[in-house]
């Protein structure tokens, strides 16, 4: 079993934000995505064992990670929301994908197990708008006629912090629901119409596990490790798809990465027939002209390991490693974009 999750599930999820090593002189400093925290932590441990180099990572959310790299307070940021090329240019940054995953609706309803309930994007939007407020609502029953659902209020849980997981979740809801797009919109944080907030994928996982009749959304690795019930989501082809490495990969490979400047690609709502509709990518952000060249050099050594020998660890945690052609594209981008990125 992966070392970070060798703890009991409840302890691991509660403690995950506090496992980042204390800062050391010469340590590479990263911050950002909670979506990718489990795999970045594991990569850092394996990299330390192999090289002796320390890579410290703070699981503070994508928005905070972006702010830290912009402020020069980190050697790299990690975000599940890609920055547009003009914003990267403004701050002297480059970005590249490091891993694929997916955002799953999770719930705590008696009698409903993993993969037993179906959702459409429009239904999820209506739940998060507060229009569908009970588990016995006809809209839920219509998709799930054989499920015995309680006549109980739905407790909506969402992120309280700026989040790439939220970005991918609400980006999908905006595509599925014109009402959501008009009333709430998109972004790393939004004005939620209903619900209670929790910090990080860790916090949402813990809150859903704790509160009966709740619904939330988290990166799929947290679903597996916290043993949460999750729903199937209907994709553009009309199929109800389970979150899985295979369905995330189907989404990721359906987009043309070669045509995207600075890898600006959002992979949700894919038209591929077997694609999970709320797939997502984590991107690393680094300075083109590094603030601390020695740390930047180690950081690129770390990314070469992560995208090479580290792919096995990514697969074991339920993420999807980059395919070889995209890894080569990333390495070519390093050579052209970053000083010392070869």
User: pLDDT tens for residues 28-39?
Assistant: 999 999 999 999
Any domain includes 321: yes
- The strand ranges marked E within 47-206 are 55-59, 76-79, 93-108, 117-119, 155-159, 196-198
Is the separation of the CB atoms in 133 and 172 below 8 Å?
A: no
pLDDT one-digit tens code per residue, 77-113:
999 999 999 999 999 999 999 999 999 999 999 999 9
For residues 89 and 51, membership in a common domain is answered with yes
For residues 108 and 62, membership in a common domain is answered with no
Any domain includes 84: yes
Query: Beta 196-198 vs 155-159: how paired, if at all?
Result: parallel
The domain containing residue 302 runs over which residues? 3-100+261-265+280-337
CA 181 from chain centre, in angstroms, equals 21
| Nearest residue to 99 (alpha-carbon basis) of 222, 339, 267 | 267
Q: What is the pLDDT of residue 123?
A: 98
For residues 84 and 112, membership in a common domain is answered with no
For residues 218 and 82, membership in a common domain is answered with no
For residues 108 and 216, membership in a common domain is answered with yes
C-alpha span between 314 and 316 (Å, rounded): 5
Identify the CATH number of the domain in which residue 286 sits: 3.40.190.10
C-alpha span between 98 and 302 (Å, rounded): 11
Residues in the chain: 342
For residues 162 and 192, membership in a common domain is answered with yes
For residues 136 and 91, membership in a common domain is answered with no
Any domain includes 274: no
Any domain includes 270: no
Is the separation of the CB atoms in 265 and 255 below 8 Å?
A: yes
For residues 226 and 289, membership in a common domain is answered with no
For residues 123 and 58, membership in a common domain is answered with no
For residues 155 and 225, membership in a common domain is answered with yes
Based on the structure, what is the number of domains in the chain?
2
Task: For tokens 């096995």, name the residue.
Answer: 312
pLDDT one-digit tens code per residue, 140-182:
999 999 999 999 999 999 999 999 999 999 999 999 999 999 9
pLDDT one-digit tens code per residue, 2-32:
443 333 333 333 333 333 333 344 699 999 9
Any domain includes 203: yes
Any domain includes 273: no
End-to-end CA distance of the chain: 34
Strand partners for 33? none
Task: For residue 44, give the H/E element and its range.
Answer: helix 37-51
Task: For tokens 């981008």, name the residue.
Answer: 333
Is the separation of the CB atoms in 234 and 121 below 8 Å?
A: yes
Any domain includes 271: no
pTM of structure:
0.90
C-alpha span between 93 and 131 (Å, rounded): 41
For residues 205 and 310, membership in a common domain is answered with no
Task: For residue 230, give the H/E element and its range.
Answer: strand 229-234
Q: What is the pLDDT of residue 18?
A: 34
C-alpha span between 240 and 278 (Å, rounded): 12
Is the separation of the CB atoms in 79 and 283 below 8 Å?
A: yes
Is the separation of the CB atoms in 119 and 134 below 8 Å?
A: no
Any domain includes 181: yes
| Domain end among 205, 220, 254 | 254
pLDDT one-digit tens code per residue, 299-324:
999 999 999 999 999 999 999 999 99
For residues 121 and 228, membership in a common domain is answered with yes
Which two three-digit tokens encode residue 274? 């077997």
């Amino acid at each position: 079993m992966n070392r970070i999750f060798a703890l009991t599930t409840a302890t691991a999820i509660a403690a995950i934000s506090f496992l980042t090593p204390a800062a050391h002189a010469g340590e590479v400093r990263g911050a950002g995505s909670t979506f990718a925290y489990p795999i970045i932590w594991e990569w850092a441990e394996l990299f330390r064992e192999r090289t002796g180099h320390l890579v410290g990572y703070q699981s503070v959310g994508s928005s905070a990670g972006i702010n830290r790299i912009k402020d020069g307070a980190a050697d790299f940021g990690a975000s599940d929301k890609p920055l547009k090329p003009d914003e990267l240019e403004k701050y002297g940054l480059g970005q590249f994908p490091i891993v694929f995953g997916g955002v799953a609706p999770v719930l705590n309803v008696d009698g409903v197990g993993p993969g037993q309930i179906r959702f459409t994007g429009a239904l999820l939007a209506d739940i998060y708008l507060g229009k569908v407020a009970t588990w016995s609502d006809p809209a839920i029953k219509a998709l799930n006629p054989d499920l015995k659902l309680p006549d109980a209020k739905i407790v909506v849980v969402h992120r309280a912090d700026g989040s790439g997981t939220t970005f991918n979740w609400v980006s999908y809801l905006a595509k599925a629901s014109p009402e959501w797009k008009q009333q709430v919109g998109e972004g790393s944080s939004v004005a939620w119409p209903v619900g209670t907030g929790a910090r990080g994928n860790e916090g949402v996982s813990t809150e859903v596990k704790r509160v009966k009749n709740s619904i939330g959304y988290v990166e799929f690795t947290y679903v597996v490790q916290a043993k949460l019930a999750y729903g199937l989501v209907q994709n553009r082809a009309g199929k109800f798809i389970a979150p899985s490495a295979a369905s995330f990969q189907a989404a990721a490979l359906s987009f043309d990465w070669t045509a995207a400047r600075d890898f600006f690609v959002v992979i949700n709502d894919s038209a591929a027939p077997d694609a999970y509709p709320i797939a997502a990518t984590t991107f690393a952000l680094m300075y083109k002209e590094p603030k601390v060249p020695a740390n930047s050099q180690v950081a690129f050594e770390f990314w070469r390991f992560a995208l090479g020998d580290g792919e096995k660890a990514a697969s074991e945690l339920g993420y999807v490693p980059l395919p070889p052609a995209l890894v080569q594209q990333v390495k070519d981008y390093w050579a052209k974009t970053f000083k010392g990125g070869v």
